[in-house]
Amino acid sequence: MTHKNVPRHIAIIMDGNGRWARARGLPRVEGHRRGVESIRNLVTALSKQEDVKYLTLYAFSRENWKRPAKEVGFLMRLLRYFCRRELKMMMKNSVRFTTIGALSSLPKVVREEVRKTRQATQDNDGFTMCLAINYGGRDEIVRAARRVARRAASGDIQARSINERLFARHLQTAGMPDPDLLIRTAGEMRLSNFLLWEASYAELWFTNVLWPDFRMEHLNKAIRAYSSRTRKYGAVEDTR
């Protein structure tokens, strides 16, 4: 990866699995199955470079429970299978696996597989892959606000000491840098309740490519676009 100003943290809303399957006359679940290949391809490639250090993937939103029970059940089994099958790849490439989201709502066998994978990779010091599972940005902010409120009520912190930095330490992404680049596939142009706090200054990049077809060549295109942009964070660009 030879671009300048490469994002340290990339977040992706993986969209288009169902459309990919429908276009081929296949069940929606086949799109999800094929989407796992895209994850494996990106994680393997990113673990071999030095610039991008974090990849956060929107795997299952809180709203996804509204989908047909058969599809949700398949997604839960696929998550368990992914953790089990890809552990060898993660260990080989020193990938640290972590998650955000309300995991307590997942089936016990899925929670256990996720826990074992996190524990097995916790000492890996290379690339970090984070899956957002049963995640919602508003829910994350509300949960952080409750934690801060409890600390204030107990006298552990003073209300006047609450600022953005303190609040961010109570988010599930604490310890990770905010995403520099947020990508959404399949032509949709919305955040869908993903990393609402953390993505405040992320560069956005949208593509019509469906997630099962998304590969490193597409990610490199997004990174090139990111590298060509000037990030001013509200300041005025120095034209001297």
Q: How far is CA 116 from the centre of its chain?
A: 19
Q: What is the mean pLDDT of residues 29-34?
A: 96
Q: Which pLDDT value is given to residue 230?
A: 81
Confidence (pTM):
0.93
Range of weakest confidence among 66-80, 133-147, 171-185, 223-237: 223-237
Catalytic residue set:
15, 64
CA 179 vs CA 136, 197, 198, 240: distances in Å: 16, 10, 7, 29
221 burial level (CB within 10 Å; 0-12, 13-18, 19+): middle
Q: How many CB atoms lie within 10 A of CB 4?
A: 8
Evaluate if residue 240 carries a pLDDT over 80: no
Q: Which CATH class name applies to 9-135+178-226?
A: alpha beta
Q: Which of 123-127, 189-193, 236-240 has the lowest mean pLDDT?
A: 236-240
- What does pLDDT average to over the chain? 94
